[in-house]
Chain A
């Protein structure tokens, strides 16, 4: 990473060292963690310069009794703000009808308590914020109860709280939250120890957690009233349309002729980006009074490019390079190294090997990338919906040539994230255009810009070798994963992991999932960076990230091994999930989801017609330490032409504790259908250094007519809450691939699974 991007490391996130304050303020009762001056830099600077900045408040209760929760998370359809409100409401004892949500700016005080940054991804939010939100809610309840006790002249210990009402049962007196907030002067400080000492509810006492309360963001989304980044309107604002080069990365602008653009009414200026953050290369922004005029001007610009070093590359070149790298003995770094796989493979009774591939995939959320930038005094304001406010603020600052502490990011709703909005590229043209024209500028990508300049799911190549002993037992597995390294691209060392062979840090977000919960005594996983792909197709985190490809390989291979050993693939998995050693706990949970999916789908019992099959897969996405447990039984029908019709997906997932069951079902179903879409319908290709697909006619996510029957079966066993937004993405493709094999004996090893590939494999 270059020096123009400065990520402010924040200690502010360490809530264990901060007090929680409850205090009456002008507009009601404010509750939040104290901002300790001097502990973190940017907070002070921002507070000093931006008077209208949100106070360090996690939630506030108004004199009308409405409870507004401020959430430092990206709300992109997972209703995370609503979930956070639900956790607070549970302990606070408020009526759900009184709850409101608002999105936070990028102030470090809203950083994730565990991650130390504002980032939404990895299905982490609920898991990591459960405790902090619960304690914040409980602290509020305690403060309100003490105030109510004083007002009623009764001991606080005799009060009960329910639906925003505090009641003294004996005297039949009660006070609403609104009354307490209106009349009272409440000041209470909880030290970190006080907070820790609060006894939270036990699951049997829950009244909100585990209940499908209506999501707070939904009504606005049925009336066109929710505000996304693209909806931001600022006084005096003009519009920018980017012109992106034919090469995904590495091009430079040689010349810009704007003589025709100048004839477009409303045209203001063509700005050639000077992007020192290296997020973009060779971009130009046409700025005009309206977006339509900006589009026309963009079309009228005559730009010549130097295509740069990647201008000749294609998907095939990236695959070829991946194979070459995999063949080298000293490539990559070890992510897993158990036992001695080389020796075990050497002495195995039977060795089978296979190559698995995935193509480039594009996020294409329905809201194209956009950002609005405005300079007011020293402060750069960015309005956009973003999953990684902390880094995005830094990129915007880099593009502006200012210190990140002078950037305020105003979070908007995200019209889809899926990992795309972890990136910050959209801020660069907005910032530089705003600077060049001295006005606020909203930059909106066309769908063509959005697709061809995606930080895509990288093309991957994996080689897996398995060794069986004489009894058909799996004794060795070697697994090489070759890909671009999406997370290394961020340039934040904390997001990299040490390799087990101490060869240096590796991007675990390319191999997560390969460290599965099967017991295999000799096992290695090697992460190999495809530098060519890394440069030519800067990759990003696409919903579920690595498990989206690692489980494609692992779960297909396990089936191949089972068939080679003459065993039922589901039964074979159950044996491997023996819960021995480091796999204890996780393996059993995964096994249970598999058994559930098998039973619910009628695996082995349903009599299927010719050409139909059921295949299974089970996954521990995302990371091993934040695993969640998901299995799928896919029922497919395969036509003689090779065309695959998915008849039914039976998904079982163990989520530990459910906060909002209906929300979980929506997420799991959406994730499963993403998995289906990636398995069968989505493929992008690189040609002459550029992405060939430009809109929804050539890049074709699942439509309603392609919807199979999906059943989502949630196991909630009281374990801590796991993430649910991603894991089901990863289980579908291998389940379908395995089902196709069971149906017609065709093994497909590349994604997406196409009719041609199935047909070819049927003949083979």
Chain B
């Protein structure tokens, strides 16, 4: 029995400590937005945030994740309106869509630290996330669009009268 803090809620799960976080999220908590792709840290489909860092949930055990702040695609924003999610729709990124939760979570960890990434920084950050439908160029565009939107929003925030 372990307690996981997922998307701001504490949830107790029953699983051996070495169970990959991925399967606990998907099966016990029935949050299926996080995907299984390779089980070996090679594709990024299972990406979630642990304490704000993008990690592969297939390579993270339940006992390692316990007590930390876990965010899945379902918790990235309350209504699915994270700037990246909006940009993903604006650029019509997903094809089959299977890799996209992982892509968005991976990208979100970049933009959280760097709202003005260069193309090279985007590629370096995203290269571990496979997309078999090859939506890479749209992913890049959507990340740039979201970054621009976030910068505009935060500038507007700065100028807001006190």
Residues of A at the B interface (CB closer than 8 Å) are 76-79, 212, 214-215, 217-228, 230-231, 233, 239, 265, 290-292, 364-368, 413-418, 444, 446-447, 662-663, 666-667, 669-670, 673-674, 677, 695-697, 701-705, 707, 710
Contacts and interface: CB of A to CB of B under 8 A. Distances in A.
Contacts of B124: 705
B96 A76 contact: yes
B138 interface: yes
B118 to A, nearest CB: 14
Interface in B9-36: 15-16, 19-20, 23, 26-28, 30-36
Contact of B32 (A227, A663, A669, A670): A227
A415 B44 CA distance: 14
B95 A214 contact: no
Given A221-B100, A291-B27, A707-B123, 10 more contacts: A223-B74, A223-B85, A230-B36, A366-B99, A366-B130, A416-B133, A673-B136, A696-B43, A704-B127, A707-B137
B54 interface: no
A290 B26 CA distance: 11
Contacts of A416: 96, 98, 132-133
Interface of B: 15-16, 19-20, 23, 26-28, 30-40, 42-43, 45, 72-74, 80, 85, 88-89, 92-101, 104, 123-124, 126-127, 129-140
B69 to A, nearest CB: 18
A670 B95 contact: yes
Contacts of A666: 92, 95, 135, 138
Contact of B80 (A223, A367, A368): A223
23 contacts: A77-B96, A214-B89, A218-B97, A221-B94, A221-B100, A224-B73, A226-B97, A233-B30, A290-B15, A291-B23, A292-B16, A292-B19, A366-B99, A367-B35, A417-B96, A444-B36, A666-B95, A669-B137, A695-B42, A697-B40, A697-B42, A704-B131, A705-B127
Contact of B98 (A220, A233, A415): A415
A701 B130 contact: yes
B45 A231 contact: no
A623 B139 CA distance: 32
A416 B20 CA distance: 24
Contact of A218 (B74, B94, B98): B94
A362 to B, nearest CB: 11
A415 to B, nearest CB: 3
B161 to A, nearest CB: 34
A695 B38 contact: yes
A279 to B, nearest CB: 23
A710 B127 CA distance: 18
Given A291-B27, A368-B36, A447-B40, A222 B104 contact: yes
Contacts, number: 164
Contacts of A674: 134
Given A224-B72, A704-B140, A367 B38 contact: no
Contacts of A670: 95, 133-135
B10 to A, nearest CB: 21
Query: Which 9 pairs across A and B sit closest by C-beta, in order of nearness?
Result: A224-B33, A221-B97, A415-B98, A77-B95, A77-B96, A673-B134, A224-B73, A231-B32, A223-B80
B39 to A, nearest CB: 6
B138 to A, nearest CB: 7
A224 B32 contact: yes
A224 B45 CA distance: 11
Contacts of B32: 224, 227-228, 230-231, 233
B27 to A, nearest CB: 6
Contacts of B30: 233
A365 B96 contact: yes
A760 to B, nearest CB: 29
A443 B133 CA distance: 24
Given A290-B27, A292-B20, A695-B42, A677 B94 contact: no
A415 B40 CA distance: 18
B92 A214 contact: yes
Contacts of A413: 96-97
B96 A367 contact: yes
Contact of A414 (B15, B43, B96, B104): B96
Given A227-B32, A447-B39, A222 B135 contact: no
B19 A366 contact: no
Contacts of A220: 97
A673 B133 CA distance: 9
Given A233-B30, A413-B96, A219 B80 contact: yes
Contacts of A707: 123, 136-137
Contact of A702 (B38, B74, B99, B134): B134
Nearest to A78: B95
Contacts of B133: 77, 366, 416, 670
Contacts of B104: 222
A290 B130 contact: no
Nearest to B127: A705
A696 B38 contact: yes
B140 to A, nearest CB: 7
A367 B99 CA distance: 8
Contact of A368 (B37, B123, B140): B37
A392 to B, nearest CB: 18
Contacts of A368: 36-37
A416 to B, nearest CB: 5
User: By CB atoms of chain A within 10 A, which of B95, B104, B130 has the most?
Assistant: B95
B43 A366 contact: yes
Nearest to A217: B97
A414 B27 CA distance: 19
Nearest to B82: A222
Nearest to A233: B30
B74 A703 contact: no
Given A290-B27, A670-B134, A696-B43, A415 B35 contact: yes
A219 B93 CA distance: 10
Contact of A366 (B16, B37, B137): B37
B123 A704 contact: yes
Nearest to B75: A224
User: By CB atoms of chain B within 10 A, which of A221, A227, A446, A703 has the most?
Assistant: A221
A526 to B, nearest CB: 34
Given A222-B88, A704-B136, A367 B33 contact: no
